[in-house]
Each structure stands twice: as structure tokens, then as C-alpha cells.
Amino acid sequence: MIAQFKEGMNSCGNLWQIVEKNWKVFLPLFTNEEKQLTRDEFRALFTICWSEEGSNLREKEEDTIFCWELLLNSIQEKQSTITFQEMLVFITGADSIPPLGFPGEPRIEFYTQQNRRLPFASTCGMVLFLPRGIQEEEELTDLLNTALKGYLGFGKI
């Protein structure tokens, strides 16, 4: 099987020979290095889907994103029980960023909160839905903690 793999790789412009000569460059592609995500790496993954600028909805979304940024800082400083890896699994279903990146761009969208509805995610679409109008970091942290704890075991028997 290994010989077949090497032959197959070499059939594409002697790719295996290139990999052997430059193995350090290809290490992240062929191995899982279990690198911890940083705040900047995690933050850069997401596109924020804002409402129209100047609208009341946009103002509430900006409040929530301010709390989101504070939460990301708390996670980076290890002052939160939430980790970037847990958040990534909740939003994308993946426990690390794939070597070639995600097939699409993860996004943050908003919903109008009713009856303390929890944040939720679509792993298929890689979308995190956050409530508009959150004004305290602790409130967003509590909501996300509850949502993250509730998803554990999803899809497991």
C-alpha cells in the first residue's frame, strides 16, 4: 500500500520525491501538530454579517460583538472556562483548522433574542448565531457556556 501511495504521488510530477526532499515544509500537511489556536487566528476565521449601517439592529449587533471581543480576550488570557477549540467544534464540527483551510468562510450572524434563547450554530454552514443587544461579557459568556455544554455528545451513541 505504501509503494502504491508513493507511485501515485510520483505520477503527479514526482510529488513524492519533492515531499521527501522538503519534508519539513510538508509536515503540517501530513501531520496533526495540535497547535493551540490564538485569539487572532480564531478571530480571523470569521466574517461578521452586519445589518444595515445606522440601523437599530446594527447598533445592537455592535454591542454583542463588543462583548464577543471581550470574551475572546478572556479566552486568550485563560480567564474563561471556554476554549477556542470548543468554540471551533461547536461552530464547524472540526477540532482544528484543516491544513488547507475550511471549504467556506465561517461567519457570525445575529438573531433577535426572545426568552433568553441560546446562541446556536450550523456546522454545515459554519455559522455562529449570536443574539443582538448583549451588553455584558458575563451574559454572553453564560449563554455560550450553556450552549456549548448542551451540544456535548451531539451525534454520539
Per-residue confidence in pLDDT tens, the chain, 157 aa: 999 999 999 999 999 999 999 998 888 777 766 778 899 999 999 999 999 999 999 999 999 999 999 999 999 999 999 999 999 999 999 988 887 889 999 999 999 987 668 999 999 999 999 999 999 999 999 999 999 887 655 544 4
DSSP designation for 127: E
For the domain bounded by 39-151, which CATH number is listed? 3.30.2410.10
134: exposed, middle or buried (Cβ count in 10 Å: 0-12, 13-18, 19+)? buried
User: To which residue does cell 519533492 refer?
Assistant: 18
Going by C-beta distance under 8 Å and a sequence separation of 6 or more, which residues neighbour residue 26? 19
Beta strands in 34-86 (DSSP E): 47-48
Q: Where are the domains of the chain?
A: 1-31, 39-151
Backbone φ and ψ of 52, nearest 5°: -60, 135
Query: pTM for this one?
Result: 0.77
Residues marked as catalytic:
124
